[in-house]
Amino acid sequence: MNVFMVETPHQLLNAIEAKNRFPRKDNHLVVVLSDEYTVRAYEPLINAGEWTRVHYVESKTDPRRGLGKWLKRHPSARIRGYYMIYELSLLRKNLTEIGQSLIRADDVFLGNYSVDYMRHFSNIIEHDTLYLLDDGTSTIFINKARKEAFQEGFKDSVINAITGLKTGQSEQVTFFTTYDLDVKQGDSLVKNDYRYLRELAASATRTDEIYFLGMTLIVEGLSRERYMEYLRKVLKYFCDEKIVYVPHKLEPPDKVEYIRDQMGLTVRRFPVPIEYQLTMGGTVPKMLASFCCSALENCRVIFGPELPIKSFYIDPEHCPHLSEFVSDIYCYFESKSGPHFEVVRL
C-alpha cells in the first residue's frame, strides 16, 4: 500500500505522477481541505477508481464555522492564537485516526515536508520509504534546511507540544523532484521527469497565444506596485503579441481586475494546475512565461523543446522577506537555460 498526503491541487498533480511511477495495487489519498482549496478544487484531478480511497480532512473542523471565522479574525492576538491551537489539535486528532486505520504503508508521499502536520502524519504511520513530492520551489528550501540541520523555533515547539503534533525530521527521505538537488548524506533523489503527463501531452495542438502565469509574491514581500511595474516591462518586451494572463489561485480579485481592465490583458482561469491543463486541455500556447513560478520548471521537463519558456527576472532585493530564496530560484533557472528555456533580465 502507498499513502499520499496533499493540501493543494499542485501537490495532487505530483502525487498522481508518483502513483504512476511507483505503482501499487492499494493507493490511499489523504487530502487536507482549506478555505482556499475545497473539495471542488480537487474533483477535476481525481478520477473515479484511481484511488482505493480518498480521505478528505477539514483543516477547519469547527461545526460552527461562523464562530470559527470570527475567532480567527478576533482583534486579540491571544484569542486568535488559542483558536489556531484548537484547530491544530482537531486536525492532529483526525489525521491520527486516519493513520491508525491504515496501520502500515510500503511508501508514504508528502506534499510539503515543511508543514508540521504532514511530518506528524509520516511519524505516526509505519512505512518503508518516505518520499517528498515537489511543492513548487519550496523543494529547494526544504533540501537546504535539511542540509543545514534546521531546528524548529521555540514558539513552534511549544505549539506542537500542546497540540500533540509529532514533527521530528526523518533521518532519511527521498525527494521525488524535477530539481537537480545536492541532497544531504543519507537522503536520496529520484528525478520526476513527468513521463505520465508527457504521454498525455503528445497530442496537444498549439495556439498563437502566450500564457503569462501570475504570482502572488506576497510572502516574498514584493509590493503590488512593483509587481505591476515588472509586468508592464514584460508587456513592452512582448509588444504586439497575444498575452493571456493566468492568475494564481490566491491572487486578490481586485489585482486581477486591474490587470484585465487597466492593462488590457485577457484573463483566463483554469480549474486545475497549469501543468495538468496544458496536458489534458488539448491546446498549448506558443510560449509560456512568468517570473519565478515553479510551473515553468515543471513545464520545461514535460514539454522540452516543444514549448519555449521565459522566466522574467525580479531583483531579489525587491522581495525583502525571502530575497535569498528568490535568488536561489533564479540561479537554478539559469543553470537550466538553453534555446527553449531562458531567464530574461529587463
DSSP readout, 186-239?
T-EEEE---HHHHHHHTTPEE-SEEEEE----TTTT--HHHHHHHHHHHHHHHT
pLDDT at 70 over 70: no
Is the pTM above the cut of 0.85? no
pLDDT of residue 63 exceeding 90, the answer is no
Picking from 95-104, 145-154, 183-192, 201-210, which range would have the lowest pLDDT averaged per residue?
Answer: 145-154
Residue 59 to residues 37, 42, 62, Cα–Cα distance (Å): 11, 15, 9
Cβ 28 vs Cβ 3: under 8 Å: yes
As a whole number of angstroms, the distance between CA 8 and CA 5 comes to: 10
Domain boundaries, the chain: 2-192, 199-344
Quick one: three-class SS letters along 5-48?
EECCHHHHHHHHHHHHHCCCCCEEEEEEECCCCCHHHHHHHCCC
**Mean pLDDT, the chain, whole residue set:** 90
Give the mean pLDDT of 220-226.
Answer: 94
294 and 136 Cβ atoms separated by less than 8 Å = yes
CA 324 from centre of chain:
19
> 33: pLDDT confidence band, cut at 50, 70 and 90?
very high
In this model, does residue 345 exceed pLDDT 80? yes
Mean pLDDT of the region 87-103: 91
Same fold for the pair 2-192 and 199-344: yes
Of 3.40.50, 1.10.3470, 1.20.1510, 3.40.1800, the CATH number of 2-192 is 3.40.50
pLDDT over 70 (residue 60): no
Predicted confidence at residue 72, as pLDDT, reads 62
Report the residue count for the chain: 346
Angle made by CA atoms 321, 191, 345, in degrees to the nearest 5: 45
How does residue 92 score in pLDDT terms, banded at 50, 70 and 90? Answer: very high
Q: Most distant CA pair in the chain: distance in Å?
A: 59
CA 109 to chain centroid, in Å, comes to 14
Q: What is the mean pLDDT of residues 297-324?
A: 95
Lowest-confidence range among 81-90, 173-182, 209-218? 81-90
Find where cell 492593462 sits.
263
- Say yes or no to pLDDT of 318 above 70: yes
Which position has the higher pLDDT, 103 or 297? 297
pLDDT class of 68 with cuts at 50, 70, 90: low
Checking if the pLDDT of 64 tops 50, the result is: no
| Domain topology for 199-344 | Rossmann fold (3.40.50)
pLDDT score of 62 = 47
Q: Which of 248, 5, 249, 273 is nearest to 113 (CA)?
A: 5
- pLDDT band, very low/low/confident/very high, at 73 (cuts 50, 70, 90): low
Given a cut of 50, whether residue 181 has pLDDT beyond it is yes
